[in-house]
Amino acid sequence: MKGLFITFEGTEGSGKSTQVPLLVERLQEWGHTVRVLREPGGTPIGEEIRHTLKHSPANSAMTAEAELLLMNASRAQLVRELIRPALSRGEIIICDRFYDSTTAYQGYGRGLNMEAVRSVIGFAVGNTIPDVTLLLRVPQQVSEERLRSRQATLPFIRDRMEEADRAFFERVAKGYDEIAAAEPKRIQIINASGAIAEIQSAIWRIIAPLVATRQH
């Protein structure tokens, strides 16, 4: 059976952490083997890098260039250690963020040279490209409200990425729109500002045909 590589993308508070497990549950009910991964992270090395990037008290002086390289170091390990072997076994991979996040956050958000960003990503992933990317899109105001709610209700864990200002996240959102416009076949935009069940149904309408046509 052919493997299937699904990625979730979106700005902060877009609802990925809610929708990923719902999709996993439905796919497992259909009898599929599903592997859930996240970026940065997913491997022992990647999780160390994730801590350095997001939570370490020593990361306040991190440059955008170091951020780009660390993100893709984690990604290179994830692709070779887990993603490619799982796809070769016919598993379904669901990854919470992949290289589109780097294009949006480090390219558009941090303002790094886009050719350099693409070059580093290409070195990290090679020909490992998602079959479909679900871009959960919410208005900036909704994103900010959800982020504040999450920070108020969950135990506080400092996240360096969430410390950026509004202008940064506006650039990220604009970047995602441009990425989606450039690859409309792979990247499917989901209106994620509605009810959870509605978003889940919209996702399933995209994923179900892909699952049904997998080659045995």
- Helices of type H across 104-195: 114-125, 140-153, 166-182
Question: CB-side exposure of 146: number of CA atoms within 13 Å?
Answer: 19
Distance CA 17, CA 196 (A): 11
In the three-class reduction of DSSP (H, G, I as helix; E, B as strand; rest coil), residue 92 is classed as: strand
CATH number of the domain that 77 lies in? Answer: 3.40.50.300
In this prediction, residue 13 has a pLDDT band, given cuts at 50, 70 and 90, of: confident
pLDDT tens digits along 81-131:
999 999 999 999 999 999 999 999 999 999 999 999 999 999 999 999 999
Q: In which domain, by residue range, is 10 found?
A: 4-212
pTM of the model: 0.92
**Average pLDDT over every residue of 7-36:** 94
Whether 30 shows a pLDDT value over 60: the answer reads: yes
pLDDT tens digits along 42-59:
999 999 999 999 999 999
Average pLDDT, the chain: 92
Distance CA 61, CA 19 (A): 33
Sheet containing 132-137: which strands, arranged edge to edge?
Answer: 34-38, 92-96, 4-10, 132-137, 187-191
Higher pLDDT, 75 or 11: 75
Take residue 165 and report the two structure tokens written for it. 């200002």
Distance CA 111, CA 25 (A): 38
Give me the number of domains the chain comprises: 1
